[in-house]
Amino acid sequence: MSVIYLLLTISIVVALVFFAAFIISVRSGQYDDSYTPSVRMLFEDEVVKNTTIEPTTKIKKSNQLNKKQNL
Amino acid sequence: MSKCYHCGDNCNITAIVFDDKNFCCNGCKTVYEIFQSNDLTYYYDLQSGAGTTPLAIEGKYDFLTSNTIAQRLIEFDDGTVQIVNLFIPGIHCSSCIWVLENLKKLHPGITNSQVDFPKKTVRVTFKAELVTLKELVILLAKIGYEPYISLDDYDKGKSKTDRSILYKLGVAGFAFGNIMFLSFPEYFEVGEFWLDQYKGLFRWLMFAFSLPVVFYAGSDYLISAYKGLRSGLLNIDVPIALGILVLFTRSSFEIFFDLGSGFFDSLTGLIFFLLIGRFFQQKTYSFLSFERDYKSYFPIAVTRLSKKKKEETVQVYDIKRGDRLLIRNKELIPVDGILISGEAQIDYSFVTGESEPVQKISGDKVFAGGRQCYGAIEIETLKSVSQSYLTQLWGNSVFQKDKTTAFQTLTDSIGKRFTIAVLAIAIIAASFWMYQDSSKVFNVFTAVLIIACPCAIALAAPFTLGNMLRIFGRKKFYLKDSSVIEQLAQIDTAIFDKTGTITTTQSSSISYEGMELSVEEESLLKNTLRASNHPLSRSLYALLKEHDIETLDEYREYTGKGVQGVKDKSDVKVGSADFVGHQQQSDYNSTSVHVSANDAYKGCFVFNNNYREGVSEVFKEMGRYMDLAVISGDNSGEKTRLEKLLPKLTPLYFNQKPTDKLEFISELQANDKKVLMVGDGLNDAGALAQSNVGLAISENINVFSPACDGILDATKFKYLNNYILASKKAIKIIKLCFILSLMYNVVGLYFAVTGQLEPVIAAILMPLSSISIVAFATLATNVIGKKLN
């Protein structure tokens, strides 16, 4: 039954990881503006529109999008 | 009628067609061209007609070239990369976010830009060698997003956002969850061997989790209770702090001596719920400021003319007596001075709310806070910024006082009686058990204090008022914080400013008195007025019927007098009575423009103040249960009209200076009146600060309002009475919540007094009472909100 020590440790460590994630996200200012990101994520990356080769499928489009951002 | 493709306004007959799209003016067309040439037309796909017309800004931002001033505005600077945070009142939709975050496409020097929509700010990262701050600001202004830069930005240090409530909420929630989890076996008292074996470990873990909750997350309550006690006040935090401390000591005691599991679950739950309440109440309108003083309206720098007539930019605090200043069109006069040269048309609407500009001639005194409306003028400084007529008002001690600390909230006044009652019950119960069974004395005494901890009472007000605050916000009635609702409910006297508060600043009604004008005369009049830039001419021009544009044979403008137009040998004169050759008869109090045609007097246009929609109704309804008065800085010209409009015997006071208004209110308060002041201009700032509740009426909530407790959108003025009544209802809800929570307390006290309080009962009763109070408060306020329209 001493496995309960291990289980307790794991459960608390998991909880602590989430807690730390929360603290870090607050610190980085994620909760300062809770509205703008919800709008921002809906914008299409219009860069795609100007490329000469129109992507045919949505999957391709998002691939291209990623590449553009990586550049 | 076609709509402008850029700003969505109606295009007049003079629509500009470009790229198959209609534009209302050249400004809008230019913005479209900029966007089009930079592949930013997606802007119009997001929301049609989203733009704003850019205004002329020539020379306005010259002060940004001064390095010392620019450095005060720039947040981060490492020589090559600079970051600046600009407030842009024009941000209003998703298109705005999109275009401002794509600024880098407009200028290669801009590397990144990020919008904070609720605050209406944009943070721009740019390369200093490629673009200067001035160029950046001008670029923004050109596309219709002009940043608002005032003296306030110059003084402000780098403000830090306070996120402590989020951390505390995180800590409390984390510990609460884990403690609940650890105390689960105890709830069922299963006599299982292994669970018994590890009970000690579980309990010590709970103890460890509760430490940061009590001493970090709950610290605000302990500190507030300590402060209250030291100043002899029994606020609501006293019984809460007592509950927290008793819970903690008794639970620790039980664990140390292995007597039981303690109440750590209830303890952390209590603090967690209280913090949620506080978080909910903390609704702020980050794009509004309730602390504005004149600094938010004054420019950072103005142009000074040196002895050799050379122009230089000078910081307004550095202006000294005797300095010659150049005030350009649409610039604000920062100091009291004497007009030296130029045609002054000064708009004092910031100060008085009066929209009609005042004409000044060389040698006249001009006061700080006025905005020059026509051409450039030169003034000589008489007083420095802080000593000017208007700004002196802020030296009054009323601006140093903090209104909220002086006000005792309903919850706090309940808290006082509550603490006394709970302590009495605890002592009586303990002394009863002293005779019955002395081993239970300690248990009963602490149990009473634990179960009576007024968690639900403390939650009632934050949730009711916090929710009310949000509902009001949706109805364009923005309050500084939730205590304003409580104060609003107690108001028994309401004082209104006249100009700009119960009258509108945007349109004045114009009536014509005299002989009727013939069609030719009216056409000539309209064409004459077209050329004039005088504000009265502009409003008169807008009023007259459409006529074809004709070229005048002769047009002459006489400064301070009027204008003259000649066509086909007939002439028309518009202006002051003397100018058109008419003996002034009508009263001097109203603004009027006289007209003569071919030297024969025709009549005059009288500009009357336009009262807001529903003024009579608001006064009538509010007059039923409170005293009303109108207090105005203007002359008594509108007296008869006001008397007709308002309920009989409403006191009207005219010619009141800003300090008179302030004193008038403090006199009322000395007679134990709870005063509501409704005002708009900076001249009401003293009265707004002195009153119990100061409300600012604002035509455009983003741009202008003096320091106040609440901002009411001008279009919602007619609902003012409904808002006050809703506040009163909110207070009733809080009282109902108190009764509900007392009922829970009675049940809990039964267990406590009889010595049967088990941790599991506390763990059920506390969240249950809290949640039902929160649910009741939220539902009831939503019902009020529904009825508000």
3-class SS at B18? strand
pLDDT at position B632 over 60: yes
User: Taking the domains of chain A in order of start, what are their residue ranges?
Assistant: 1-32, 44-71
Angle B113-B119-B123 from CA coordinates, rounded to 5°? 20
Of the pLDDT bands very low, low, confident and very high (cuts 50, 70, 90), residue A67 is very low
> How many C-beta atoms surround the C-beta of residue B581 within 10 A?
12
Predicted pLDDT of residue B175: 94
Of the pLDDT bands very low, low, confident and very high (cuts 50, 70, 90), residue B89 is confident
Give the end-to-end CA distance of chain A in Å, rounded to a whole number.
Answer: 55
Q: Please name each of the domains of chain B with its CATH number.
A: 62-149 (3.30.70.100), 164-283+410-463+729-787 (no CATH), 298-331+336-382 (2.70.150.10), 474-505+612-726 (3.40.50.1000), 509-608 (3.40.1110.10)
Predicted pLDDT of residue A51: 41
3-class SS at B233? coil
Predicted pLDDT of residue B556: 79
What H or E segment, with its residue span, contains residue B337? strand B337-341
* Separation of alpha carbons B661 and B659, rounded Å: 5
Q: Which residues lie below 8 Å from residue B53, measured CB to CB, with a gap of 6+?
A: B6, B7, B9, B24, B25, B27, B28, B144
pLDDT at position B353 over 80: no
pLDDT at position A15 over 50: yes
Per-residue pLDDT of B649-681, as tens digits, reads 788 888 887 788 888 888 998 888 889 999 877
3-state secondary structure B79-142: CCEEEEEEECCCCCCHHHHHHHHCHHHCCCCEEEEEEECCCCEEEEEEECCCCCHHHHHHHHHH
Nearest residue of B to residue A1, measured between CA atoms: B194
Of the pLDDT bands very low, low, confident and very high (cuts 50, 70, 90), residue B95 is confident
Between B52-61, B301-310, B427-436, the lowest mean confidence (pLDDT) is in: B52-61
pLDDT at position A71 over 50: no
Determine contact, residues B269/B764, Cβ cutoff 8 Å: no
Backbone dihedral angles phi then psi of residue B87, each to the nearest 5 degrees:
-90, 120
pLDDT at position B587 over 60: no
Mutate to test the interface with B, among A24, A39, A49 (most CBs of B within 10 A): A39
CA distances from B510 to B251, B263, B297, B588, B608 (A): 77, 74, 30, 16, 6
Determine contact, residues B28/B53, Cβ cutoff 8 Å: yes
Predicted pLDDT of residue B423: 87
Distance of CA B423 to the CA centre of its chain: 42
Please give the interface size between A and B, counted as residue pairs whose CB atoms are below 8 Å apart.
59
Predicted pLDDT of residue B154: 73
Q: What is the DSSP string of B309-328?
A: S-EEEEEGGG--TT-EEEE-
Side by side, the strands of the sheet bearing B358-360 are B358-360, B344-347, B371-372
Q: Do A39 and B97 touch (CB under 8 A)?
A: yes
* Separation of alpha carbons B689 and B294, rounded Å: 14
Q: What Rg value do the Cα atoms of chain B yield, rounded?
A: 33
pLDDT at position B761 over 90: no
Per-residue pLDDT of B123-134, as tens digits, reads 899 988 888 888
Predicted pLDDT of residue B160: 63
Cβ burial of B270 (10 Å; 0-12, 13-18, 19+) is buried
Q: What is the DSSP string of B491-537?
A: --EEEEEIIIIIB-SS--EEEEEESPPPHHHHHHHHHHHHH---HHH
- The CA-based dihedral angle spanning residues B337, B341, B343, B346, taken in that order and rounded to the nearest 10 degrees: -10
Give the end-to-end CA distance of chain B in Å, rounded to a whole number.
Answer: 32
pLDDT at position B21 over 90: no
Which residue of B39, B94, B163 is in closest CB contact with A50? Answer: B39
Mutate to test the interface with A, among B92, B99, B178 (most CBs of A within 10 A): B178
Question: For B629-717, where are the alpha helices, taking DSSP H only?
Answer: 639-645, 658-670, 685-690
At which residue do the structure tokens 């590449």 appear?
A67
Determine contact, residues B22/B15, Cβ cutoff 8 Å: yes
Nearest-Cα distance to chain A for B289, in Å, is 17
Angle B750-B755-B756 from CA coordinates, rounded to 5°? 75
Chain B CB contacts of A11 under 8 Å are: 181
3-class SS at B565? strand
What H or E segment, with its residue span, contains residue B28? helix B26-37
What H or E segment, with its residue span, contains residue B441? helix B441-451
**A21 inside 8 A of chain B by CB:** no
Task: Report the pLDDT averaged over residues B385-393.
Answer: 75
Q: Which residues lie below 8 Å from residue B504, measured CB to CB, with a gap of 6+?
A: B610, B611, B612, B699, B714
Determine contact, residues B713/B479, Cβ cutoff 8 Å: no
Nearest-Cα distance to chain B for A39, in Å, is 7
Predicted pLDDT of residue B639: 80
Chain A CB contacts of B171 under 8 Å are: 19
pLDDT at position B26 over 50: yes
The residues facing B477 across adjacent strands are: B712
Sign of the four-CA dihedral B95, B96, B101, B104: positive
| Residue B185: HSE in the Cβ half-sphere, 13 Å Cα cutoff | 18
Question: What does chain B come to in residues?
Answer: 789
3-class SS at B349? helix
**A42 inside 8 A of chain B by CB:** yes
For residues A11-41, b (16+ Cβ closer than 10 Å) or e, as one string?
ebeebeeebeebbeebeeeeeebeebeebee
Chain B CB contacts of A33 under 8 Å are: 116-119
pLDDT at position A53 over 50: no
Per-residue pLDDT of B714-745, as tens digits, reads 888 889 999 999 999 999 999 999 888 888 88
Per-residue pLDDT of B456-474, as tens digits, reads 888 888 889 888 988 898 8
Backbone dihedral angles phi then psi of residue A45, each to the nearest 5 degrees:
-80, 100
Of the pLDDT bands very low, low, confident and very high (cuts 50, 70, 90), residue B135 is confident
Predicted pLDDT of residue B57: 65
Q: Model's pTM, two decimal places? A: 0.76
CA distances from B174 to B85, B167, B646, B701 (A): 35, 10, 58, 40
ipTM: 0.70
Backbone dihedral angles phi then psi of residue A33, each to the nearest 5 degrees:
-125, 105
Predicted pLDDT of residue B153: 74
pLDDT at position A57 over 60: no
3-class SS at B404? helix
Of the pLDDT bands very low, low, confident and very high (cuts 50, 70, 90), residue A8 is confident
Backbone dihedral angles phi then psi of residue B111, each to the nearest 5 degrees:
-95, -35
* Separation of alpha carbons B548 and B14, rounded Å: 12
Per-residue pLDDT of B515-565, as tens digits, reads 877 878 888 888 887 777 666 777 777 777 666 667 777 887 776 677 888
Angle B113-B116-B122 from CA coordinates, rounded to 5°? 40
Going by DSSP bridges, is the β-strand pair B365-366/B337-341 parallel, antiparallel, or unpaired? antiparallel
Between B165-174, B319-328, B531-540, the lowest mean confidence (pLDDT) is in: B531-540
Cβ burial of B322 (10 Å; 0-12, 13-18, 19+) is exposed
Q: Which residues lie below 8 Å from residue B703, measured CB to CB, with a gap of 6+?
A: B89, B148
Look at B688 and B637; give whichever has higher pLDDT. B688
Q: Do B117 and A49 touch (CB under 8 A)?
A: no
Going by DSSP bridges, is the β-strand pair B675-679/B693-698 parallel, antiparallel, or unpaired? parallel
Going by DSSP bridges, is the β-strand pair B509-514/B600-608 parallel, antiparallel, or unpaired? antiparallel
Predicted pLDDT of residue B14: 65
Chain A CB contacts of B167 under 8 Å are: 23, 26
Per-residue pLDDT of B244-300, as tens digits, reads 998 899 899 888 888 878 889 889 988 998 898 888 877 666 667 676 677 777 778
**A8 inside 8 A of chain B by CB:** yes
3-class SS at B191? coil
**A19 inside 8 A of chain B by CB:** yes
3-class SS at B664? helix
**B284 inside 8 A of chain A by CB:** no
**B39 inside 8 A of chain A by CB:** yes
Backbone dihedral angles phi then psi of residue B299, each to the nearest 5 degrees:
-70, 160
Determine contact, residues B100/B115, Cβ cutoff 8 Å: yes
Predicted pLDDT of residue A61: 41
For residues A48-65, b (16+ Cβ closer than 10 Å) or e, as one string?
eeeeeeeeeeeeebeebe
Task: Report the pLDDT averaged over residues A36-57.
Answer: 60
For residues B249-261, b (16+ Cβ closer than 10 Å) or e, as one string?
ebbbebbeeeebb
Q: Which residues lie below 8 Å from residue B26, measured CB to CB, with a gap of 6+?
A: B16
pLDDT at position B619 over 60: yes
